[in-house]
Amino acid sequence: MTDVKNGAKQVSAPDAAEVDDGELDEGLFDAPERGSADELLDAGAHTDLDAMRHSTAHVMAEAVIDLFPRTQLGIGPAIADGFYYDFKLDRPLTPADLAAIEERMAASVAADHPFVRRELAADEGRAFFVERDQPFKVEILDDLAARAKADGSPMPATTVYDHGPFVDLCKGPHVASTGKIGPFKLLAVSGAYWRGDEKRPSLQRIYGTVWDNQDDLDAYLWRRSEAKKRDHRRLGVQLDLFSFHDVSPGSAFWHPKGQKMWRTLEAEMRRLQDRRGYQEVSTPILVHKKLWEQSGHWGHYDDNMFRVEVESQTFSLKPMNCPESTFIYRSKLRSYRDLPIRYSEYGRLHRNERSGTLSGLTRVRQFIQDDGHIYVRPDQLADEIEALLGEVREAYSWVGLTPRFAFATKPDKAIGDPALWERAEALVKAALDRAGGDYMVKPKDGTFYAPKIDIYIDDALGREWQMATIQADLVMLPERFDLTYVDEDGKQQRPIAIHRAIYGSLERFIGILIEHFAGAFPLWLAPVQAVVIPIADRHNEAGQELAGVLRASGLRVEVDESSNRMQYKIRTAQEQKVPYMLILGDREIEGRAVAVRRRGAAKDEPQETLGWDALAERLATEQREHRID
RNA sequence: GCCGACAUAGCUCAGCGGUAGAGCAGCUGUUUCGUAAACAGCAGGUCCUCGGUUCAAAUCCGAGUGUCGGCUCCA
């Protein structure tokens, strides 16, 4: 069960967010406990810009209360690129409401109300918010009081900030007055649970953004629209890579070009794995539930598994490969000399993700993972993990990404002998230290059966994504499936099982690459690497001949034999983001040459004319070396 | 799963009680062209599904499905 993030949104949330709501950073930066009263009050204002963003949230709350007097206030923190505020309202907000709220906010900014900090005695503060029918604020105060009592510290005063007619419970800091607020824009309204708890009331969250000056705001809005253009769901249609259909929600239909990318990524990974001594296996998709009972997943995770009843027996579609890999390991007696045994598997997995969470390729119900299970002796673990980190670096270099590593340690809900855990963590840490380079530590973020190394990347838009994972499992597979090998002394020993996925989910990986490259893939990965463009019909035959030469060098080439003009063919190839356009007219054919136009070439870029064989060699080299534009 | 929005031609969208529209793509014909859109014609739709209101529903109402923005979850 290599625990890839099938789903999991990237760490800084997408688009409408570009926002990172802070809470997602938990663990990474040791943020306060989710939804704690301190955090709710603190509102994330740590810089001047944050203070302004948080102040803007206050102004927005003022506007909302003004327009909807019975509104109950949740919290309104600063977040990456902006702010939000949660409200309980009598009716759902519409885009027209946002415009009206913006207008009121502008009036408040124009009035330049000073922000005034006041301290009230605890009971006075509570009474104030009770009187104003603000139960969420009262709850925060009650929590603070309860915590003070538990700590034996004195009852804290209630800090409020006023600006104009509006008073809010808040620790601050704020800008001096509403006039200091820069250009802002409200972006979206969405639902959010009070304190992130689905059992608590559902509030309406308004997201907004605010910047020091108009240029910064414009730049941000431009980034947003760029991100939208790169959206893999949009490019997937435009580039004819995949589609989704309601007959199988959350599962992609791969079109020929998307499938070509898939096969290319897989082929490259297989080459790496062959070199590293992996042996590829394949295990059944439909599996009896007793397997999951043995592994410990049934009962805990069966909600996420698709069940299939067959002749009154319960089966499920596998949500992970790992338990089945042990059947192959156990199919014969293993010697210490046999280890490490490295099994790879491109297994098709199904996870029943909740309907509201599905999203394009990055959150799916069916996906294929470049999974691997490596069985090692304890003395081999550190070397193997170090080698795996190298595999990750190599694979990510093919697409020009630099992986960052995070060491996730034993969670509270862990199973197994604490001594085994200590040993596993020490070995993983040793491997990370030896592999050099920095890594973050994410305490208690391991899986319930293994400490792990999670791999992150930043894409071309600076967004962080969690990708690969490496897990050192001394407990689940080895113990629950009773794995053994015979050591030098003829004694039975437990191997360690490493679960690892490098691309992770191929679906998700491709989705991220689409956005990272904005669809303009490097040559080696592009589904169509070159289009031959005959200028007139009489050049078609030579075009096919040229395509044949290139295909013989292992390149993916098409010939545009349509009756369109050359200009139109170029435009089409450009829109399809084909790396090379090969233009063939009388002049070129005469010398068995071709005019080479690079995708996205500048207007004044000098164009080369190359012989066919020289071109084939050049492109083949570029492909082999995974060159990136 | 929860809150909200949306669903019209292959794609992008207009129409919002009174006989279904455009651009692009497609097809046919003409054009054979030198670095990002030749010209003309034709064809293309259970207006997501099911129910309801109405003389009349793409349009209003309800339910379902899917998608989108978030929330929650993520072995």
A327: CATH: 3.30.930.10
Nearest partner of A336 among A286, A281, A375, judged by Cα:
A375
Same domain, yes or no, for A595 and A484?
no
Residue A588 lies in a domain: yes
> What digits encode the pLDDT tens for the residues A329-381?
999 999 999 999 999 999 999 999 999 999 999 999 999 999 999 999 999 99
Residue A597 lies in a domain: yes
Residue A6's pLDDT is 56
Domain-ending residue, one of A496, A517, A538:
A517
Residue A454 lies in a domain: yes
Same domain, yes or no, for A414 and A484?
yes
Residue A303 lies in a domain: no
- Tell me the two tokens of residue A570: 């170029």
Same domain, yes or no, for A56 and A128?
yes
- Taking the stretch 294-353 of protein chain A, residues with Cβ within 7 Å of any atom in nucleic acid chain B are 297, 301, 304-305, 319-320, 351-353
Looking at residue A604, which CATH number applies to its domain? 3.40.50.800
Same domain, yes or no, for A103 and A213?
yes
Which nucleotide has its C1' atom closest to residue A590's CA? Answer: B34
- Give this complex's ipTM: 0.94
Residue A20's pLDDT is 30
Same domain, yes or no, for A188 and A226?
yes
Q: Angle at Cα A480 formed by Cα A479 and Cα A483, nearest 5°? A: 55
d(CA A353, CA A9): 13
pLDDT bracket for residue A542 (50, 70, 90): very high
Report CA Rg, chain A: 29
Q: Kindly tell me if the per-residue pLDDT of A505 is higher than 90.
A: yes
A251 touches strand B (CB under 7 A): no
Domain of A78 in residue numbering reads as: 13-230
**Count of structural domains within chain A:** 3
A358 touches strand B (CB under 7 A): yes
Distance A83 CA to B51 C1' (A): 43
Torsion, Cα of A529, A533, A537, A543 (10° steps)? -50
Q: Summarize chain A as % helix, strand, coil (round to 5).
A: 40, 25, 35
Residue A1, classed as helix, strand or coil, is: coil
pTM: 0.90
Residue A525 lies in a domain: no
Distance A245 CA to B57 C1' (A): 27
Which nucleotide has its C1' atom closest to residue A533's CA? Answer: B35
Same domain, yes or no, for A601 and A480?
no
Nearest partner of A583 among A217, A275, A102, A571, judged by Cα:
A571
Q: Name the burial class of residue A336, with classes exposed (0-12), middle (13-18) and buried (19+) by CB atoms within 10 angstroms of its CB.
A: middle
- Tell me the two tokens of residue A433: 């230290």
Paired residues of A253 in beta bridges: A243
- Give percent of chain A with pLDDT exceeding 70: 93
Measured from Cα to the C1' atom, the residue closest to B72 is A198
Measured from Cα to the C1' atom, the residue closest to B10 is A237
Residue A22's pLDDT is 30
Indicate if A567 belongs to the active site: no
A508 touches strand B (CB under 7 A): no
Indicate if A303 belongs to the active site: no
Paired residues of A593 in beta bridges: A611
> What digits encode the pLDDT tens for the residues A197-225?
888 888 999 999 999 999 999 989 888 88
Going by DSSP bridges, is the β-strand pair A341-350/A404-408 parallel, antiparallel, or unpaired?
Answer: unpaired
Q: Name the burial class of residue A626, with classes exposed (0-12), middle (13-18) and buried (19+) by CB atoms within 10 angstroms of its CB.
A: middle
d(CA A378, CA A20): 40
Indicate if A322 belongs to the active site: yes
A505 touches strand B (CB under 7 A): no
Higher pLDDT among residues A224 and A491, named by residue: A491
Polymer length of chain A: 629
Which nucleotide has its C1' atom closest to residue A251's CA? Answer: B66
Indicate if A259 belongs to the active site: no
**Most confidently predicted of A244-248, A281-285, A427-431, A448-452:** A281-285
Distance A242 CA to B33 C1' (A): 34
Mean pLDDT of chain A: 89
Residue A154's pLDDT is 82
Same domain, yes or no, for A534 and A510?
no
Which nucleotide has its C1' atom closest to residue A1's CA? Answer: B75
Indicate if A337 belongs to the active site: no
Same domain, yes or no, for A472 and A330?
yes
Indicate if A113 belongs to the active site: no
Higher pLDDT among residues A414 and A620, named by residue: A620
Residue A300 lies in a domain: no
- Mean pLDDT, rounded, for A519-527: 97
Same domain, yes or no, for A430 and A558?
no
Question: A354 near A304, Cβ under 8 Å?
Answer: no
- Mean pLDDT, rounded, for A519-535: 97
The single residue of A373, A410, A463, A500 carrying the catalytic annotation is A373
Which nucleotide has its C1' atom closest to residue A601's CA? Answer: B35
Same domain, yes or no, for A494 and A596?
no
Domain-ending residue, one of A468, A486, A517:
A517
Residue A338 lies in a domain: yes
Indicate if A170 belongs to the active site: no
Same domain, yes or no, for A74 and A223?
yes
Nearest partner of A204 among A9, A60, A80, judged by Cα:
A60
Looking at residue A74, which CATH number applies to its domain? 3.30.980.10
Same domain, yes or no, for A21 and A153?
yes
Q: Which nucleotides of B are covered by protein (CB under 7 A)?
A: 1-5, 11-12, 26, 30-38, 65-75
Residue A498's pLDDT is 96
Which nucleotide has its C1' atom closest to residue A187's CA? Answer: B69
pLDDT bracket for residue A45 (50, 70, 90): low
- Tell me the two tokens of residue A332: 């014969």
Distance A226 CA to B23 C1' (A): 23
Domain-ending residue, one of A495, A517, A539:
A517
A340 preceded by a cis bond (ω within 30 of 0): yes
Residue A394 lies in a domain: yes
User: Which residue's entry shows tokens 């689940």?
Assistant: A476
DSSP state of A71: P
The single residue of A322, A370, A454, A463 carrying the catalytic annotation is A322
> What digits encode the pLDDT tens for the residues A130-184?
999 999 999 999 988 888 888 888 888 889 999 999 999 988 789 999 999 999 9
- Taking the stretch 161-180 of protein chain A, residues with Cβ within 7 Å of any atom in nucleic acid chain B are none
